[in-house]
């Protein structure tokens, strides 16, 4: 298809979680129709989309019918089969492409690709059995982190190995899956860059943000990030280069470790809006979700100017242990914004929503958003 996909036309989303929900809100605000496909129904995305299709991702006939009802297809998480993207691409553009999806949904392919292009990554080894794991541990030493080669997120599918005698049990925990062993990085902090690339090759970014994790799940993001100007400049340059090298059309997040001697190493890529970019919904001229829409539809990219320092705190299902949280208490802080994702059941570790706080400094925003969450969860 030549020319931009304009308001009034229809965007298709593979996946139906909170990322698709916020994307659909941005798209509908600009006058687009939104269709979503996933195996589930009454989903976070489906609740705000025009059409919700319930079908398995490997039901390629259903995917083809879905693609024929829209003008462009994107995805809101990367654990969609490459064959699904290929089936949709028979009818309409898929952005980012199925090739980007294929690389980034598999840790080994992703790390091999990045290393082959000269990007800084943590030392890693491909592991197919317990003997290869022991040999890799001899090379890297302990501690190290063993991860499944594909289909992992939020700390799922990974085991930290503190000593060589834990190798056998670690391998058993992954059920003999193809794996990647990564050398342990004694990092100072984790940060990320969310960036977008348009059909015309233009690239914009939301700057560097600092990420704090708890139990391998993102807990708080601070914008702008608490990094040196040198680290910020290098991280942004690397992120732009990754988007250009992958030929991304859409949004991509590059997650980094920052070592204690201020070196950057790419931890992983996410070829869609990212949890660490949620602050942009409230704090940026153009959110990451609107930016994804603009990119895949061939529109000019919007300004990523940060209107005020901000911080985002995830709301996990654990906070519902005492019943429905006290949202009035959180919202009593006037510079705090509440986002809930419409998920029916709160489970430990499940992302149910997030809070964003705006303040005069990033440190003050972090303190405010953590306090708002404390009040909501009655801690």
Helix/strand/coil for 202: coil
How many residues comprise the chain?
379
Which stretch of 160-169, 216-225, 302-311 has the lowest confidence by average pLDDT? 160-169
Q: Are residues 37 and 154 in the same domain?
A: no
What are the strands, taking DSSP E only, across the chain?
10-14, 33-38, 51-54, 72-75, 124-127, 144-148, 158-161, 179-183, 187-197, 203-214, 217-223, 250-259, 264-270, 310-316, 336-340, 351-358
- pLDDT score of 347: 95
How big is the CA angle at 325 (ends 321 and 326), to the nearest 5 degrees?
145
Q: Are residues 268 and 143 in the same domain?
A: no
List the structure tokens of 137.
Answer: 């541990």
Provide the number of structural domains found in the chain: 3
Contacts of 330 (CB under 8 A, 6+ apart): 336, 338, 355, 372, 373, 375, 376
CATH of the domain at 155: 3.30.1490.20
Of 162, 183, 204, the last residue of a domain is 183
- The Cβ of residue 347 has, within 10 Å, a number of other Cβ atoms equal to 11
Q: Which residues of 282-303 are buried (b: 16+ CB within 10 A; e: fewer)?
A: bbbebbbbbbbbbbbbbbebbe
298, 333 contact by CB (below 8 A): no
59 burial (CB, 10 Å; 0-12 / 13-18 / 19+) is: middle
Provide the percentage of residues in the chain whose pLDDT is more than 70: 98
pLDDT(47) > 90:
yes
- pLDDT score of 174: 79
For residue 2, being part of any structural domain is answered with: no
Of 52, 76, 94, the last residue of a domain is 94
- pLDDT score of 149: 82
For residue 314, being part of any structural domain is answered with: yes
Q: Are residues 51 and 127 in the same domain?
A: no
From the list 223, 241, 217, the residue with the least C-alpha distance to 117 is: 241
CA gap 154, 156 in Å, rounded:
6
- pLDDT score of 44: 97
> What's the whole-number mean pLDDT along residues 330-341?
98
pLDDT band, residue 155 (cuts 50/70/90)? low
Q: Are residues 54 and 197 in the same domain?
A: no
Q: Are residues 290 and 219 in the same domain?
A: yes
CATH of the domain at 16: 3.40.50.20
> What's the whole-number mean pLDDT along residues 318-336?
96
pTM above 0.75, yes or no: yes
pLDDT band, residue 154 (cuts 50/70/90)? low
Q: Are residues 168 and 205 in the same domain?
A: no
Q: Are residues 235 and 191 in the same domain?
A: yes
pLDDT band, residue 11 (cuts 50/70/90)? very high
CATH of the domain at 331: 3.30.470.20
pLDDT band, residue 167 (cuts 50/70/90)? confident
pLDDT digit string, tens, across residues 204-247: 999 999 999 998 899 999 999 999 999 999 999 999 999 999 99
pLDDT band, residue 156 (cuts 50/70/90)? low
> What's the whole-number mean pLDDT along residues 316-320?
97
For residue 101, being part of any structural domain is answered with: no
Q: Are residues 324 and 310 in the same domain?
A: yes
CA atoms within 13 A on the CB side of 104: 30
Of 53, 76, 94, the last residue of a domain is 94
Domain that holds residue 38: 10-94
pLDDT digit string, tens, across residues 255-289: 999 999 999 999 999 999 999 999 999 999 999 99
pLDDT band, residue 1 (cuts 50/70/90)? very low
> What's the whole-number mean pLDDT along residues 29-45?
97
> What's the whole-number mean pLDDT along residues 341-352?
95
For residue 288, being part of any structural domain is answered with: yes
For residue 104, being part of any structural domain is answered with: no
> What's the whole-number mean pLDDT along residues 78-106?
93
Please state, rounded to an integer, the average pLDDT across all residues of the chain.
94
Q: Are residues 280 and 328 in the same domain?
A: yes
For residue 210, being part of any structural domain is answered with: yes
> What's the whole-number mean pLDDT along residues 64-74?
98
Q: Are residues 79 and 161 in the same domain?
A: no
Q: Are residues 217 and 331 in the same domain?
A: yes
For residue 117, being part of any structural domain is answered with: no
- pLDDT score of 184: 86
- pLDDT score of 153: 58
Q: Are residues 232 and 135 in the same domain?
A: no
For residue 318, being part of any structural domain is answered with: yes
pLDDT band, residue 79 (cuts 50/70/90)? confident
């Amino acid at each position: 298809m030549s020319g931009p996909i304009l308001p009034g036309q229809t965007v298709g989303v593979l996946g139906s979680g909170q990322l698709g929900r916020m994307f659909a809100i941005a798209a509908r605000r600009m006058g687009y129709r939104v269709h979503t496909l996933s195996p589930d129904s009454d989903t976070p995305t489906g609740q705000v989309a025009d059409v919700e299709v319930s079908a398995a991702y490997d039901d390629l006939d259903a995917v083809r019918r879905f693609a024929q009802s829209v003008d462009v297809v994107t995805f809101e998480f990367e654990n969609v089969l490459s064959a699904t993207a290929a089936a949709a691409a028979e009818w309409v553009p898929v952005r980012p492409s199925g090739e980007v999806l294929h690389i980034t949904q598999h840790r080994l392919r992703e790390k091999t690709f990045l290393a082959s292009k000269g990007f800084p990554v943590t030392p890693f080894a491909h592991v197919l059995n317990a003997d290869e794991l022991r040999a890799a541990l001899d090379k890297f030493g302990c501690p190290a982190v063993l991860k499944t080669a594909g289909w992992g997120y939020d700390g799922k599918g990974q085991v930290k190995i503190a000593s060589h005698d834990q190798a056998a049990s670690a391998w058993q925990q992954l059920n003999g899956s193809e794996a990647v062993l990564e050398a342990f990085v004694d990092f100072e902090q984790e940060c990320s860059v969310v960036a977008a690339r348009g059909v015309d090759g233009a690239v914009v970014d939301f700057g560097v943000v600092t990420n704090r994790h708890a139990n391998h799940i993102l807990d708080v993001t601070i914008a702008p990030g608490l990094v040196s100007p040198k680290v910020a400049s290098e991280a942004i340059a690397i992120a732009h280069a990754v988007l250009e090298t992958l030929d991304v059309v859409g949004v991509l997040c590059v997650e980094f470790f920052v070592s204690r001697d201020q070196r950057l190493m790419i931890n992983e890529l996410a070829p869609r809006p990212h949890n660490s970019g949620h602050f942009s919904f409230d704090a940026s001229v153009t959110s990451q979700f609107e930016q994804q829409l603009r990119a895949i539809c061939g529109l000019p990219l919007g300004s990523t100017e940060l209107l005020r320092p901000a911080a985002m705190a995830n709301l996990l299902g654990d906070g519902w242990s005492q019943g429905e949280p006290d949202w009035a208490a959180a919202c009593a802080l006037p510079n705090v914004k509440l986002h809930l994702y419409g998920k029916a059941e709160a489970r430990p570790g499940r992302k149910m929503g997030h809070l964003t706080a705006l303040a005069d400094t990033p440190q003050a925003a972090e303190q405010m958003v953590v306090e708002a969450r404390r009040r909501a969860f009655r801690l």
